[in-house]
Structure 1
Amino acid sequence: MMSRTTRCPKEDKAGPFFLATLVLWFVSVLFEILFHRRSELLAVVAGCFFYQFANWVVRSFVSRDPLFVNTSVSLLHSSITSASVVFILVNRWLENGSVGMFEHAELVGRTWPWAYPALCFSCGYFAYDQWDMLQYGLYSGWIPSILMHHLVLLICFTLALYRNVTINYLILTLICELHSIFLHVRKVRRMAGIRDATSKIVKVEWVLNWVTFTLARTAPHILITAKLFCDAPKFGKGIELPVALFGMFGMNFLNASLGIDLFHAFKRERNPQHANAHHE
């Protein structure tokens, strides 16, 4: 798995860059709210504060370990977002049926009920998580993939929210949070000391991990990318298509990296002696 380790400040060259981009993002959101009267974007700020409050609750009453706290809040976000996406899709299907649900005009120019605030709230989480990882050094590498992932999402999400386009497309991409639930469950389970690969709980967890990785992360993102290519002539001359393709290429690349990491983690858990030798 992609481990997050605390970095020494002297070795950290990526942190200042990503912190600067986060500050610029926050200033941009405040500017839209205050000067362009975009009160609907207050849901982004609400998301930031909600997950920061969840962080405080876990840190105060459960554990002060930064990685455990971060993972627990991430699990909360994945659960809330997954439930929100399922609710939005089922609600849309019950109201109007499946006819035209995935047409270009529906995905780009319209917004399903509750989709806009749900996207805002999730966007607030990614900003909170970026700040939490920067604050406690929960990343590694010269160009940390987890920080780059959050930066790509913040750019794509906020541009869509500002222009109020492709909201439904982004809601569909968030279906991957169903898989993230089991990623975070695995981390919490291992931090709690439950590492017996032969136990039924761990086996079931791995089955759910692979099923949701395939059905809720890999397949939807590939299909969305293919849909963007097929509908490319239907997009206008604006930035919607380039930004959407940029975001999906980034997501698919990270999905491939995640799949490789997940496979290696699965092999290590299946071979405890090998896992102990590598101090996973």
Structure 2
Amino acid sequence: MNIWTYAKWLRQGKLDKILDLGMIEMDSFDNRMIFILVNELIRMGSNGMFEHSKLVGNTWPWAYPALCFSCGYFAYDQWDMLHYRLYSGWIPSILVHHLLLLVCFTLALYRNVTINYLILTLICEAVKAEWVLSWITFIVARFAPHILITIKLIRDSPRFEKGVELPLALFGMGGMNLLNTFLGIDLFRAYRREKSSQHHE
């Protein structure tokens, strides 16, 4: 079963089929993230989907369990990397990345707020790239979406109620943008190394 079958069923109003099957038959977790977005696009349209109240106070169908699963995945992955020392450097960016996501995900799940914002960031996490498409993928799937989400947060900042949600969201997105900058630098260095090695051959 693929994502397009689910989208077709949604368009045809066969939500009962999807609910009967659940999300167990989805090909991968990446498809589940896309499914959540496609489902919302069909239900709400792009205008209603990205309204502040929908992103902060509401939770799209299947978004909460998907975020729970992601939180568990990042916690396990973090533990695995620490336990087996699968990192390098004094302050490994991958560990900082996972820690940042775990803090944001856990607090959002506990308070049941900004779940939809975090689903948008998970779409950025889900995209994997071949080396040939690394730059395009980096800009389209990581750098630009995180910048746009940050801009949306800043524009919507007056609409947030007093509390931890806005500072946490801004801290999280600031951290992600900083990590994306480091990732871009690493990508550029890897690109230069590869070009240099090809030039010497």
TM-score (norm 2): 0.81
* Equivalence for 2:33: 85
* Equivalence for 1:124: 72
| SS of structure 1 residue aligned to 2:46 | coil
Corresponding residue to 2:43 among 87, 92, 95:
95
* Equivalence for 1:260: 185
CA distance in 2, matches of 1:99, 1:144: 39
* Equivalence for 2:168: 243
Q: Deviations 1:173-220 (Å, cap 9, x if unpaired)?
A: 1121244x22xxxxxxxxxxxxxxxxxxxxxx3342222211111111
CA-CA distance at 1:119 after TM superposition: 0.6
Counterpart contact for 1:178–1:212, Cα < 8 Å: no
CA-CA distance at 1:140 after TM superposition: 2.3
Corresponding residue to 1:111 among 43, 56, 59:
59
CA-CA distance at 1:271 after TM superposition: 2.8
Taking the TM superposition and a 5 Å limit, the aligned residue runs for 1:1-280 are: 80-179=28-127, 181-182=128-129, 205-272=130-197
Question: What RMSD over aligned residues (CA atoms) do the two structures have, in Å?
Answer: 1.9
CA-CA distance at 1:120 after TM superposition: 0.6
Provide the identity percentage.
71
CA distance in 2, matches of 1:173, 1:275: 40
CA-CA distance at 1:142 after TM superposition: 2.7
CA-CA distance at 1:275 after TM superposition: 9.0
Q: Deviations 1:210-232 (Å, cap 9, x if unpaired)?
A: 22211111111001111111111
Regions of 4+ moved over 4 Å? 273-276
TM-score (norm 1): 0.59
Unaligned runs of 5+ in 1: 1-78, 183-204
CA distance in 1, matches of 2:62, 2:200: 44
**Which structure carries more relative contact order (alpha carbon 8 Å, separation 6+)?**
1
CA-CA distance at 1:273 after TM superposition: 6.0
Q: Deviations 1:227-266 (Å, cap 9, x if unpaired)?
A: 1111111001110000000000000000000011011112
Unaligned runs of 5+ in 2: 1-26
CA distance in 2, matches of 1:273, 1:89: 41
